Amino acid sequence: MMKITCPFCGARNENEFHRGGEAHIARPQPSMDTSDDVWGEYLFFRDNPKGIIVERWRHTYGCGQWFNVTRDTVTHEIKAVYDIEAPKPAIDAQ
């Protein structure tokens, strides 16, 4: 069970959180003007890296707030936790 540091509450057990999938996925706007391909890409296609992934998590059984996490999918090491609106940080894949 991972230990995740909520930016608002501090370090807590993973089972207080929910994972919300890959972060920084922009919703195509205006949606009705997008092609089927672009819309399909937005709906269904996600990275599945062996290594660093950026994803959003919610502290469901705490403050209820969403935030972003960069996590290594191999070691489960959490490299950074940052605000939901902040840009993607540059993180060395190594």
Partner 1 sequence: MSGFRLAKGGAIDRNRPLSFTFNGKFYQGFEGDTLASALIASGVDIVGRSFKYHRPRGFVGAGVEEPNGLVQVGTGARSTPNIKATTIALYEGLTATSVNAWPSVEFDIGALNDVMKRFIPAGFYYKTFMWPDWHLFEPLIRRAAGLGQAPIEADADRYDHAHIHCDILIVGGGPAGIAAALTAAQGGLDVVIADDGPRLGGSLLWDFADQTDDGVAFAKMAVTKLGDTDSITVLTDTSVYGYYDHNFLTARQYRKPPGASANGTANSGNTAERIWKIRAEHVILATGAIERPLVFANNDRPGVMLAAAAQNYAMQYGVAAGRRAVLFANNDHAYKSAIALKSVGVDVALVVDPRQNPDGYWPKRAREMGIVVERGAVICDVHGEKRVRAVTIGKASDNDEAPEVTQTVTCDLVLSSGGWSPRAHLFAQSGGKLRYDEAIHSFRPDISVQKETSVGACNGALRVADCLVEGSAAAIEACAILGKSVTAPIFGYSPETPVTQPQAPYFRAPSPKGRKAWVDFQNDVTASDIELAARENYVSVEHLKRYTTLGMASDQGKISNLNGFSIMAQTRGVSVRDVGTTKFRPPYEPVTFGAIAGRRIGDFYHPIRRLPTDQLQRELNAQFEDYGGWARPYCYIRDGEKKEDAVYREVRAVRSGVGLFEASPLGKIEVTGADAGVFLDRIFVNTASTLKPGKARYGLMADENGVVFDDGVFVRLSDDLFLCSTTSAGADHMFLWMEEWLQCEWTDLDVYIANVTTSWATFAVAGPYARDVLLKVTEGVELGNDAFPHMACRAGTVAGVRTRINRISFSGELAYEVNVPAGYGEHVWRAIMEAGAEFDITPYGLEATMLMRAEKGYLHVGADTDGQTLPQDIGYGGPVKKKKSDFIGRRSMVRPDAKRSDRLQFVGLKPIDGTQALPIGGHIVEETQGTRKSAGYITSSYWSPVLQHGIALGLVKSGRDRMGEHVRIYDDGSFRSAEIVSPVFYDQNGDRLAS
Please give the residue ranges that form the binding site for partner 1 (CB under 8 A). 1-3, 13-14, 20, 27-32, 34, 36, 39, 43, 56, 58, 60, 64-66, 75-76, 84-85
If we measure between CA atoms, which residue out of 52, 54, 56, 58 comes closest to residue 93? 52
By beta-carbon proximity to partner 1, the closer residue of 1 and 93 is 1
| Residues whose CB is less than 8 angstroms from the CB of residue 92 and which lie 6 or more positions away in sequence, other chains included | none
Output the smallest distance, CB 22 to partner 1, in A.
Answer: 12
Cis peptide before 30 (omega within 30 of 0): yes
Residue with smaller CB distance to partner 1, 40 or 49: 40
